[in-house]
Amino acid sequence: MMGTTALWKDAWRAIRGNGKRFAAMMVIVAVGVMMLGGLNSVARDIRAGLDAFFDETTMHDIAIVSTLGFDDDDIAALRKVDGVKDAAGEYAAGVVTTINGRQASATVTALNDRGIDEPYVTDGRLPNADHEIAVTAQYLDDSGKSIGDTLKFRPDDSTMTAATGSTGPSSDDTTDDSTGTDDSTGTDKDDLASTDKTAGMFADGAYTIVGTIIDPNYIVNPTGPLALISGSRTVYPMVVATGSLAKTGDGRGSTAELPYTSAVLTVAGAASMNTYDGDYLDAVADATTAVEAIRPTRERARTDTVRQTALDKAMRALDEQKATIAVLPDGLPAKTAAEQRLAKAEAAIKKKADALPEAKWIIRDRSSVTSYEDVKTQSEMITRLGTLFPVLFLVIALLVSLTAVTRMVEEDRQLIGTYKALGYTRHETMIKYLVYSGAACLFGGLLGDVLGLIGLPFVFTRRLISRIYVLPGYPLLVDWRIAVGGVLLFVVVITGVAAAATAGSLRLEPAELMRPKAPKAGRTIALQRVGFIWNHLSFLGKVTARNLFRYKSRALMVIIGVLGCTALMTAGFGMGSSALTLMPRQHRDIAPYDVLAVTSAADHDAAQRSLDDDSRVASTLPLQLGSVTLTATDDTDSRGDADGTAATADDAKIAAQLMVVPDGESLRDFIDLHTSDGSPISLPNEDPGDGSDDTGVVVTTNAAKKLALANGVTVNLTDAMANGANVTVTGIAQYYTGNLVIMTESAYERVFGTGFAENADLINVRDDDPDAKIAFADDLAGDDDYLSVMSSAKQERDFSKSFLMFFVMIGFIVIMAAILAIVVLYTLASTNISERERELATIKVLGFRKREVHGYVNKEMLLLAAFGIALGLPSGRALLGFLLGRLDLPGMTIVPNVAWYCYAAAAALALAFTVLVEAATNRSLDRIDMVGALKSPE
C-alpha cells in the first residue's frame, strides 16, 4: 500500500517537473473539447432560440392558402380536425407606403382573435383600435419615425398582376352583344370576372404607430448577409387590429363578405416539443394528413359558395328588370323581346358563374417559412464543424501526448528499472504516466467545457448569429452528455496512447533499463547519394541534413503540425476572400446589369417610356418578375400530375424568383447564363422563329443542388397565386446569390395558361462609376412608378460591410491555428533540446557561440517548417473547398477563391509562429549545463 502511495506521489511530482509538456497537452485537449461542446452548443442554442420564440408568439404549425380564400365554415371545419389544437383565419395584404419620399413594400396583417402568429412586442403595444398599427424596428430606422407618428399605405397590385400576368379581360370575359349582359341588364362584369378582394382590404387613412414588433414570419435581419444575397426588395411587416378592415357595402361595418386570405393552425402538443425534433415533425405530419382528408370537401364547398355569391350579386339587376317587365301588359311585343333578352342574359351569367376558378388549397408547414429552414441549415452547418475540428485536434493531441510521454519514459528509464527491480508490477509502474496524461485531459477538458459551453455560445449567438436573425434572445443550453463525453473521449484516447508508449519499456529487464539507451548507429542518408548537392553543403549543413533524417518521427510531427496550422489559416483567409469576392464575381461574371427596377404591371409602360428617354440609360430589358416555389418531383409524379398541382408537403421546397423573358429578346447583355464549367446556356424557344415548342426552364445552381435537379428532370412550379405546373429543367446555370428560375414568354403562357405582363426592367447605365450607378438607382427609387429598385453596386457595397460572420470565423480559425502551431512546435522543440543535451553541450564546449548554437538547432526547425508550409498551402485550398461544400448557406453558392495574399499571409504567419517558438526555446539552449550534461551516467 505504501509503495503504491509513493507511486502516486511520484506521479503528481511528474506533473510539476514536466509542467510545460503538461500545459501543452492540456491546451490541445481544452481546444478540442471546447470546439466539440461549444459548436454543438451553439447549434442547439440557435434552434432552441427559434423554438422558444415560436412558442412565445404561438407560431403556426400549419398554414393554408386558398385561391378563393376561406370563410368561417372553413375555419370551423379545420378546428374539428384530429390533431389540430386551434385554427384562425387571417387577413393580410401587400401594400405600398412611402419612406423618405420613396415607395416601399409592406405586408399588413390583421391580428386574429385566437392569438396565433401574434407578433413579439419590443416597445409600445399591439394595436387594439381602428387606424392603429405596429411596425418593425427596421421601418422606424429607415423612415425616421417613432411611436406616436402616423403612416399611410395604399394597396399593392404588383403581386397579383405579376403572378397572374393579366392586365386585361380574359377570353371568359367576352360577351355576345346580343345578350345585352354588359349594358342592357346593367350588371357589372367585374362581379364575375374577379373574386379577389384583398386589394382594398384595409381602411384608408392615416394609421398611428403604437408599437414596435418582431413578426415570427420575418426574423431574418433585413440588413444582414442572408437578406442581401437574395437581392429582393425589402418588405416591412406591419400589423393592425381587425377594426381596421375595410367596411363592406352594407355600411354596417361587417366583414362577413370579406374572405380570409389564409388559415393558420396549431397542432395539439406541438408547443411542448422542439420544432426541429422528429416527434414534432411526426405530429405535424399526422395533422397535415388529417387536414388533407377534409380538403376536397371544403374546396368544393368554398367554390360553390363563391360561385353562388357571385351569381346572386349579378342576378340582382336582372331581378329588378324582371319586376319592371312583369307589370307590362301581356302580349306587348316589347315585353316579349325584353323577356327573351333577360332569359339569354340569365343563361350567360350562370355560364360565367360556373366558369369561375375552383378553390385550391396549398398546405404548408413551418418548412415553408424561410427563417425556419435558414436556422436549420445554419445549425446543421455548425454541428458539422463541431465534429470536424475536434477530430483534427484529437489527432494533434495524440501526437503531442505521444511525444511528451515517450520523452518522459526515456528520461525515467533508470527509474523504471529501479521500480521493476524493487518488485513493482507493470501496471503499478504505469500509474505515473497514466495519471500524468489523464490529469492533462481532465484539467484541459474541464477548461474546454467552460470555454465551449459559455464562451463560444456568447461569441457566436450574442455577437454573430444576432446579426443574422432578429430573435430577442437565445437560451444557454448545456448538453452534459457532450460535455462529459468529450472529456472522456480525450481521456480514453490519450491515456491509451500513454499506456502504449510505456508498454515497450516496461517489457525490458531491470538490468537493461538501468543502462543508458544506446544511441542510434550512424547511417548513410539518401541525400549523400546525390553528390552534386551533398558535396556543396557546408559541414553544418551536412550535420543538419543528418539530424533531419536521424529523427524522422519528430521531423514528421513538425511537418504535420505546421501543415495543419498553414492549412487552417489558408482556409480561413480563403473563406474571407471567397466571401468578399462573391458579389463582385456575381456582378462581373454572372449578372452584369446595373439596376433591377420593379413596377406594377399597370405602371410599367409609363416607366419604360421614361427609361427610354433617359440619357443615362445605355440599355434596358423589360421582363416579368414574380416569385415561385420549386418542388422536386420524380418522373412518375410528373406523369401522373397532369393538372399541375403542388407536390406533397414531404417534398423539399425552395423559394425562387421567376424571371420571364419576352420572346425574341436576349439576356446576354444583362445575365450570362452558363454552367459551372463555363458552357453557355440558351433559353428554350428563345428565338420564337426556330420552331421550338419547348416549355422548359433554366434553374440556378443553389436551387438545383438543394432539390437534386439535373437537365431533363421535372420540377413543379407554384406561383404566388397558387397556380402550379410541372416543367422540365433544360439548364443548370451558375449563380452565386439567390435562387432564380428563368423561362421565356411563350413558355410561361403555355405552362401557366395566363398572359404575360411586363413589370420590371434590367438596366445598364452608361457611367461606369459605382457612385453614379447608385445615384441613378436612388433617383428611380424616388419615382412613384417604381415599387422596388435594386442597385448592384450598392448591394455589393452593403454586402461586404455586413458580412461580419466570415470575419469572425476567420479570426476564430487563425486563433485555433496559432494555438495548434505554438503547442506542437514548442512541445517538439523542447523535446528535441532535452534529447540532445549532451550533443549541444559538446558543441558549446567546442567553442560554438550562443547564436551559433541557436542556429544549429533552429535551422532544422525552419527547414521542417518550410516543408510543412509548402504542403499546407495546397492542403488549405482543399480544406476550404471541403468546408464551403458543407457551409450550405441558404440561397448562396460560395465558390472557393484563394487570392495570392491569402497564401502569403498564411505562410508568413506560420513562419512567424515558428520563429516565435524558437525564440522561446532559445532560453532553454542557453541554460544547458555543460558539465552536468557531459557527466557519465555511471
Instruction: Report pLDDT digits (tens) over 651-674.
Output: 567 888 899 999 888 888 899 988
CA angle, 600 as apex, 156 and 256 as ends, to 5°? Answer: 30
**Could you tell me which residue, 347 or 520, shows the higher pLDDT?**
347
The residue type of 213 is I
**Which residue has 480525450 as its cell numbers?**
490
**Greatest CA span in the chain, whole angstroms?**
145
Please answer whether residues 230 and 738 qualify as being in contact, where contact means their C-beta atoms are separated by less than 8 angstroms.
Answer: yes
How high is the pLDDT of residue 804? 60
Distance CA 627, CA 703 (A): 14
- The pLDDT-based confidence of 403 (bands split at 50, 70, 90) is confident
3-state secondary structure of 145: coil
- For residue 44, the tally of other CB atoms under 10 A from its CB is 23
Distance CA 884, CA 889 (A): 9
3-state secondary structure of 587: helix
Task: Mark residue 233 as left, alpha or beta (left: phi above 0; alpha: psi -120 to 50; beta: remaining).
Answer: beta
Q: What is the mean pLDDT of residues 75-95?
A: 93
In sequence order, the β-bridge partners of residue 657 are 627, 740
Phi and psi at 18, nearest 5°, equal: -120, 50
The set of cell numbers assigned to 923 is 532560453
**Could you tell me which residue, 816 or 726, shows the higher pLDDT?**
726
How high is the pLDDT of residue 471? 78
Distance CA 860, CA 558 (A): 10
Burial class (CB in 10 A: 0-12, 13-18, 19+), 835: middle
CA angle, 19 as apex, 18 and 22 as ends, to 5°? Answer: 90
Please answer whether residues 192 and 352 qualify as being in contact, where contact means their C-beta atoms are separated by less than 8 angstroms.
Answer: yes
How high is the pLDDT of residue 195? 43
Summarised one tens digit per residue, pLDDT across range 130-170 is 999 999 988 998 888 999 999 999 887 654 433 333 333 23
Residue 572 has pLDDT above 90, yes or no: no
- The pLDDT-based confidence of 890 (bands split at 50, 70, 90) is low
**Closest Cα partner for 385 from 892, 885, 898, 896?**
885
Distance CA 672, CA 772 (A): 23
Alpha-helix residue ranges (DSSP H) falling in 83-224: 137-143, 158-164, 190-193
The residue type of 279 is D
- For residue 581, the tally of other CB atoms under 10 A from its CB is 17
The residue type of 738 is G
How high is the pLDDT of residue 27? 86
Strand 132-136 versus strand 207-214 pairing type? parallel
Q: How far is CA 517 from CA 16, 181, 832, 903, in A?
A: 25, 113, 16, 44
Highest mean pLDDT among 190-204, 785-799, 862-876: 862-876
For residue 451, the 8-state DSSP code is I
Please give the distance of CA 42 from its chain centroid, rounded to a whole number.
15
Residue 690 has pLDDT above 70, yes or no: no
CA angle, 584 as apex, 582 and 585 as ends, to 5°? Answer: 65
Highest mean pLDDT among 445-449, 577-581, 886-890: 445-449
Q: What is the mean pLDDT of residues 770-784?
A: 86
Distance CA 440, CA 412 (A): 19
Please give the distance of CA 240 from its chain centroid, rounded to a whole number.
31
**Which residue has 393552425 as its cell numbers?**
265
- For residue 118, the tally of other CB atoms under 10 A from its CB is 18
Residue 593 has pLDDT above 70, yes or no: yes
Distance CA 355, CA 644 (A): 19
Residue 243 has pLDDT above 70, yes or no: yes
Please give the distance of CA 21 from its chain centroid, rounded to a whole number.
41
**Could you tell me which residue, 152 or 556, shows the higher pLDDT?**
152
Q: What is the mean pLDDT of residues 242-265?
A: 71
The contacts found for 247-250 with CB under 8 angstroms, 24 or more apart, are 247/203
pTM for this predicted structure? 0.72
Please answer whether residues 62 and 365 qualify as being in contact, where contact means their C-beta atoms are separated by less than 8 angstroms.
Answer: yes
Average pLDDT over all residues of the chain: 79
**Could you tell me which residue, 102 or 279, shows the higher pLDDT?**
279
How high is the pLDDT of residue 639? 35
Phi and psi at 210, nearest 5°, equal: -115, -5
Alpha-helix residue ranges (DSSP H) falling in 237-369: 278-326, 333-354
Q: What is the mean pLDDT of residues 352-372?
A: 83
Distance CA 489, CA 394 (A): 9
How high is the pLDDT of residue 226? 58
3-state secondary structure of 672: coil
Please answer whether residues 425 and 466 qualify as being in contact, where contact means their C-beta atoms are separated by less than 8 angstroms.
Answer: no
Summarised one tens digit per residue, pLDDT across range 599-655 is 888 888 989 999 999 999 999 999 999 888 888 875 434 333 333 333 333 456 788
**Which residue has 434596358 as its cell numbers?**
620
Helix and strand element counts for the chain (H, E): 30, 20
Strand 150-151 versus strand 207-214 pairing type? antiparallel
Residue 446 has pLDDT above 60, yes or no: yes
Residue 261 has pLDDT above 70, yes or no: yes
How high is the pLDDT of residue 247? 65
Residue 544 has pLDDT above 50, yes or no: yes
Residue 175 has pLDDT above 50, yes or no: no
Distance CA 408, CA 396 (A): 18
The set of cell numbers assigned to 684 is 428554350
Residue 186 has pLDDT above 60, yes or no: no
Report the chain's C-alpha Rg in angstroms: 37
How high is the pLDDT of residue 752? 83
Residue 503 has pLDDT above 70, yes or no: yes
**Closest Cα partner for 540 from 826, 837, 854?**
854
- For residue 233, the tally of other CB atoms under 10 A from its CB is 15
**Closest Cα partner for 434 from 499, 381, 522?**
499
3-17, 62-76, 554-568: range with lowest mean pLDDT? 3-17
- The pLDDT-based confidence of 685 (bands split at 50, 70, 90) is low
Residue 744 has pLDDT above 50, yes or no: yes
Q: What is the mean pLDDT of residues 323-351?
A: 79
Q: Which residues contact 100 (CB under 8 A, 6 or more apart)?
A: 142, 143, 144
Please answer whether residues 902 and 571 qualify as being in contact, where contact means their C-beta atoms are separated by less than 8 angstroms.
Answer: no
Residue 875 has pLDDT above 70, yes or no: yes
Distance CA 320, CA 840 (A): 117
